[in-house]
Chain A
Amino acid sequence: MRIASPQALRKTGIVGMNGRNVSYIARYNDRKLYPAVDDKYQTKVLAIEEGIKVPQLYGVVQYTHQVKKLEEMLAPYKQFVIKPSQGSAGKGILVIVDRQNDAYVKPSGELVTISDIRRHVNNTLSGLYSLGGKNDKALIEYAIQFTDAFDGFSYQGVPDVRVIVFQGYPVMAMMRLSTQVSDGKANLHQGAVGVGIDLVTGRARSAVQFNRTVDHHPDTGRPLNELVVPRWDELLHLAARCYEMTDLGYFVADIVLDRDLGPLILELNARPGLAIQVANKAGLLPRLQRVEQQVALRKSKRRLPPPMERVTFAQENWG
């Protein structure tokens, strides 16, 4: 087992867990702002107010008596997603892609009835899928239409892009590709592939699985250097705008690409992981320090540059 010296890590600019917690999360993220990102419903409401693109919210079920009206609520939609507002790790997400007579079709082709869906929503409300078993809300929203840009890059599910945003500036981006080993999950420590994305072009720059460099997707064999995220500038712009929306100084935006609507904010997280550094083969520290410098300069003018300018700054510095 090889171990790096702390000096070597510092030279590479790696931010460790302690550094992240003390110097960034504790310093830049006000605790009272957390509920706005921990609860996807609140995030969505905020995003809609700010005009930030999110998957359209078809409806919310908050109380048991509303479950009776579920069929009515779902009537206009052929495709939709039902998810817990405070769910974690993708649990409790029900995707419906079509209808056959009275039945609903899941992506696997399995049919479910309205009473199955009611039971699912009831379970969601009582907290079956939520952190700590708290009572929860069920969100009914637009089902993402996959773009074919990522065909062959994912084992299951839709790959998402994570962008770390520090004081409004996008500083690093990564794509997470689920694999068979990761059981379709997007968690890097479970075996998903992390792909560092170039901030200028939206192209893959390096990829890792289990901390080791990989060139091809382990299941599909597709070369990862062919991966390009379309509408990349638009995506970064969207991520940067979330700063104005939440006031969180240090967060990660999870963004999905819709075939027709382009990038949409899926959720925000105020405790971004550190794996993004491994995927990019680059440390966060120099970038975060560069932003701190830049903000200190700007402070005198008391003006935050518009999001597009911040994206340009990032691309000029770390492209």
Chain B
Amino acid sequence: MKARTQVYIIIAILLVVGLGAAAYKIIRLDYPLIPKDKVKVWVIEAQISFEATGEPVKVSFAVPGQQATMGVLYEEGASRGYGFQPPPSLTSPTLHRRVTWSKDKAEGAQTLFYRTEVVQMAIPGADKLQATVEPVPDWILEEPLASAADSVIQRARAASADDHLFVEQLSQQIGSLDPSQEMRMLLNGVDTDLKKARLLHALARKGDAEVHLVRGLELGESQRRQSLVPLLLVRQNDTFHSVVAGKPADSIQEPFLAWQRGGRSLVDVEGGENVRVRFSVLRDRKPALGTVERAAKVQNNPWVDFSIYSLPIDQQNAFRILLMVPLGALIVVIMRNLVGIKTSGTFMPILIGMAFLQTKLIPGFVIFFLIVSIGLLVRAYLSRLDLLLVPRISAVVIVVIGIMALASILGHKLDLAFAHSVTLFPTIILSWTVERLSILWEEDGGREVAVQTGGSLIVAVMAYFVMGSSTLQYITFTFPELLLVVLATILLLGQYTGYRLSELRRFEPMTVPQEEAS
């Protein structure tokens, strides 16, 4: 069979499989092709800091899972130097999700991060998990508190028709400016919101209401420092009502993310002291990625069960970017073979684009120009010393890494935002860029370096916008089979023997009527 025929057969197969699978998902499984609306998402970062005492460290931390009105899109917690045990899968029926960090030995100030991204949406079935109710705590069954509690409960019961109003009554008494004799006794030593919530929980349980103690975050605007708000969920028939101890009934206005349920502590640290937990919340708008909506369908459909959504979230995150690389490749193919832009290295523009995704565009440009020009200057000097190629290039790379470290430290001291974006990945890519450009300079001269760097940057910026597009990210992530279509397109372009756009310019003088040839 001729090579050309084979290529066309492969292209046809790829198109049928890719488009077919996507069509099946859209038509039969109701996947939206274009994310319909942008939804509010919150990126929440919990920062756990403590003083390690030099012994083995084990930190156990409660983390949120799927909830009736909140879906978890993303979570990560790996910390450098710590072994990390991720939480149970989001679909597993556990109410108390916890993550664990551990380390053989640690000393001094330690900081661990846990980041999660949540979206407000209805998760069917998520509240069924709340079936287990904690028993009445022992301390309220002991005298003299027991009889004080009994009289408070009796009074509240008398003034309310159902469990919800009963708990509201108790809450009002806790928050009252002039509490009764018994209440004053119960409130002795109860000075924090959390202790008030515990008291309310104990009273409500003793009064036979089904309540759950929950600590969570009110998700409003972005906020640097937020603390967990304790509240009670009261079951009234089949619905849950929230009550904040000592506050009016409508005190929770914003969407509420329950971070931790039940009585266990938020964080347990072995081998550390002075534990502090801080939360920061960042509000963002994104296309509805649908991760969670899909979850229910995933469980029942064997086809979807093999999709990327079935992977653990940290692996999903890796794929989120990886799946964009083929689109970057498509751009490189188009720009090089159809337009005729010269780039240095075939796929370096994609990598530079990915680095820009991490640094954001403008800081990325600044860093790029800074590092590349300094690197090339160093190279220019080194080449006068008559060194061999590989040592010369290695020296350049080491200098580049030095510059980046310096820029990072300076930026950090001066509190410049871009310094934080200098992470491992851009560092490697930039060093490599400088290496390639140095070699290019050796072989083809400075003009060629300028041409190819310019070309690479143009393609990199295009790749940056394509790979960074949240709509395209949604599409490739939800319909990875469409990448087969991208592959087919690239194979098809591989057959293209026509002119490049740049050649229309290059050979233009040849199409005008011949001037008098010598």
Contacts and interface: CB of A to CB of B under 8 A. Distances in A.
Interface stretch (A3-11, A252-260, A302-310): A3-11
B510 A2 contact: no
Contacts of B500: 16-18
A10 to B, nearest CB: 8
Contacts of A126: 388
B517 A9 contact: no
Given A17-B503, A126-B388, A281-B517, A6 B498 contact: yes
Nearest to A6: B499
Contacts of B497: 16, 18-19, 22-23
B518 A204 contact: yes
A19 B496 CA distance: 8
Interface in B86-103: none
Interface residues on B, range: 20 to 34
A211 interface: yes
Contacts of B503: 9, 14, 16-17
Contact of A9 (B445, B499, B518): B499
Given A1-B505, A16-B498, A206-B517, A89 B443 contact: yes
Contact of A4 (B388, B495, B511, B517): B511
Nearest to A134: B389
A127 B393 CA distance: 13
B518 A89 contact: no
B469 to A, nearest CB: 28
B507 interface: yes
A133 B391 CA distance: 10
Contacts of A11: 511
B388 A215 contact: no
Nearest to B515: A213
A5 B514 CA distance: 17
A12 B462 CA distance: 34
B337 A18 contact: yes
Interface in A154-168: none
29 contacts: A1-B505, A2-B508, A4-B510, A6-B498, A9-B499, A9-B503, A9-B504, A9-B507, A9-B510, A10-B499, A12-B511, A16-B498, A16-B503, A16-B507, A17-B340, A18-B497, A19-B498, A22-B494, A22-B495, A126-B388, A127-B389, A212-B509, A213-B509, A213-B515, A213-B517, A225-B518, A277-B507, A278-B509, A281-B510
Interface of B: 337, 340, 386, 388-390, 439, 443-445, 447, 494-500, 503-511, 514-515, 517-518
Interface of A: 1-6, 8-12, 14, 16-19, 22-23, 88-89, 123, 126-128, 131-133, 190, 204-208, 211-213, 215, 223-225, 277-278, 281-283
